[in-house]
Chains A and B, each alone.
Chain A
């Protein structure tokens, strides 16, 4: 089975800190995604990448950036963390467009 691994399950950071969330998939998937999930709002797409060094903005990219230097790794960066970025962050991958997503277990980020 595909494994998508997120580096941390829980993370606590202070306002203004630069935060790195790491995601690694082991199935050579082309496409990788970062979502955030908030109660009552569902999953919202932050950024996605369809190839190494390629990225596209999702619905809510403000305050975030991403990096994909290697095919298996997709990093989400909070340039200057704010309290409204407290959320569950989910990474996902898929081999081809229009196929099912494989999700990691998520990182619960708290910004104080």
Chain B
């Protein structure tokens, strides 16, 4: 069955540094991958979608890479700020034409001033 792995330990970084989060998957070749942000007590919020034929995608301070050979996506936040502190989830589609997503457990990011 499909499996998604994200670092279970929290990532602590200093303000201004680049945060890099990892999403690994197995037993699957997804057509795309999505990243979401989740704040405590709230629902996830969509950030970026990257397709299998895209190596890299950027949105403001965010950058996502997608390596289908390694079965891995990296999520980067450059010039990180304390407001970036949250849990970040990656998600992959499965199940034919419907938008059924498998989510990773998420990685909690803490940016310290």
Interface residues of A (CB under 8 A from B): 4, 31, 33, 35, 40-45, 48, 50, 56, 58, 90, 92, 94, 96-106, 108
Total of A-B residue pairs, C-beta within 8 Å: 61
Note all chain B residues with C-beta closer than 8 A to A31. Answer: 98-99
For residue B42, CB closer than 8 A to chain A, the reply is: yes
27 example contacts (A-B, Cβ-Cβ < 8 A) are as follows A4-B43, A33-B100, A40-B8, A42-B89, A42-B103, A42-B104, A42-B106, A43-B44, A43-B89, A45-B100, A45-B101, A48-B98, A48-B100, A56-B98, A90-B44, A97-B98, A97-B99, A98-B32, A98-B97, A98-B99, A100-B46, A101-B46, A101-B99, A101-B101, A103-B44, A105-B43, A106-B42
**Alpha-carbon distance between A96 and B97 when the two chains are bound, in angstroms:** 10
**Alpha-carbon distance between A97 and B101 when the two chains are bound, in angstroms:** 10
Range for the number of chain B residues in contact with chain A: 20 to 34
For residue B10, CB closer than 8 A to chain A, the reply is: no
Whether the pair A100, B34 counts as a contact (CB closer than 8 A) is yes
Known contacts A31-B98, A40-B105, A56-B98; A102/B46 CB under 8 A: yes
A98-B32, A106-B41 known; 8 new pairs, CB 8 Å cut-off, are A42-B103, A42-B104, A43-B103, A90-B43, A92-B43, A98-B31, A100-B46, A101-B36
Note all chain A residues with C-beta closer than 8 A to B46. Answer: 100-102
Whether the pair A96, B45 counts as a contact (CB closer than 8 A) is no
**Alpha-carbon distance between A29 and B34 when the two chains are bound, in angstroms:** 19
Smallest CB gap from B32: residue in A: A98
Note all chain A residues with C-beta closer than 8 A to B43. Answer: 4, 90, 92, 103-106
Top 9 A-B residue pairs of the complex, sorted by shortest distance between their CB atoms: A103-B43, A100-B46, A42-B105, A43-B103, A97-B99, A42-B103, A97-B98, A103-B44, A97-B97
